[in-house]
Amino acid sequence: MTAPHGFNPGRRRLLIGGAAAATAGGAGLLLPGLARAAEYPARPITFICPWPVGGTADQSMRTLCQVASGVLKQSIVVDNRAGASGMIGAKALSRAKPDGYTIGQIPISVTRFSQLGMLQLDPRTDLTYLARTSGQTFGIAVPAGSRFKSLKDVIAEAKANPGKLTYAHAGIGGATHVGMEEFAQVAGIRFNAIAYKGGAQALQDVLAGQVDLLADSSSWAPHVEAGKLRLLATWGEQRTPRFKDTPTLKELGFNVVVEAPNGIGAPAGLDPAVEKTLRDAFRQAVASKEFQQVAARIDAPVMYLDGPEYKRYIRTVYDQETHLIQRLKLKELLQQG
């Protein structure tokens, strides 16, 4: 089609742009960033879960995403990127575009792995923190037919045969590995640590009697209730209500507390208005009845912190991990495999 005589397409675009700008200015939308924030979210959000499908972390994160999607009026698609004790997902999250359309779970172990050289990011500066959500209930369990009736029995055996007693954990440098080694150091004993790529396989090998002990979060819970496993101790500050007859390590005289609270974050550089929208959505999600019920079912104590407080908490844990790495000689342990 031929343009009319004297028609200047470039000038028409300029005029349309000027009219749009005038309209936006009249409405008070003076900055492009504010216009983008007002439209957010305009499409589905991807949520990176750094753990396998079906695990306790996956269950809790999916529930949070479901509730948050209702608040945001936009779907949130969970993308499981498991491996390397949660660090594959954490790395992918840090490298995503900071536009609010890629968010994910942040394992607290980023504060440790970054210092061990297993994760190339600085958690103090390379992530945006939206909400700390819940902790985990860790414990030491044995098969129901095990000769170990109490943690005292385990300690006696480990002292009599240093390095012989085996325990299964979910990955070198992760919370279950470090927590168990911290307990061993305080108790003056030595174990033979067997590393797995996740808690599910570790659990199966303990149930099959191939490994003596299981150090894990509450994957053991239904098997304890079914009489297939015996829970010897939990690692929280207080006893878990679901297993109120099981003592904590602290009660037994070992000053070791591991709760490893996880949270939700995004890449660094997120637009402040988008960050606030996400913080508000996940604050409501953590407080929801749906999440509270799932957290209770998987023995995950709710430990909510809003983004700014969560970031300060991360800095505190980072400093604590610096000392823990030195005290447990974790770099040497990693070199030994």
**In this structure, how many other beta carbons lie within 10 angstroms of the beta carbon of residue 284?**
16
Q: Distances from the Cα of 283 to the Cαs of 14, 130, 279, in angstroms? A: 43, 9, 6
Helices and strands per DSSP (H, E), number in the chain: 13, 11
pLDDT in the model for residue 1: 43
pLDDT in the model for residue 306: 98
Instruction: Please count the residues of the chain.
Output: 337
pLDDT in the model for residue 158: 98
Whichever domain contains 251, its CATH number is 3.40.190.10
Does residue 33 belong to any structural domain of this protein?
Answer: no
**pLDDT tens digit sequence for 66-82:** 999 999 999 999 999 98
Q: Distances from the Cα of 168 to the Cαs of 137, 141, 176, 193, 216, in angstroms? A: 16, 10, 9, 6, 8
pLDDT in the model for residue 162: 97
**pLDDT tens digit sequence for 196-239:** 877 888 999 999 999 999 999 888 999 999 999 999 999 999 99
> In the chain, which stretches have pLDDT less than 50?
1-30, 32-35
Does residue 203 belong to any structural domain of this protein?
Answer: yes
DSSP label at residue 247: P
Contact criterion met (CB below 8 Å) for 239 and 247: yes
Q: Are residues 99 and 146 in the same domain?
A: no
Angle value at C-alpha 115, between 110 and 117, nearest 5 degrees:
95
**pLDDT tens digit sequence for 230-254:** 999 999 999 998 999 999 999 999 9
pLDDT in the model for residue 16: 33
Does residue 194 belong to any structural domain of this protein?
Answer: yes
pLDDT in the model for residue 208: 97
Does residue 13 belong to any structural domain of this protein?
Answer: no
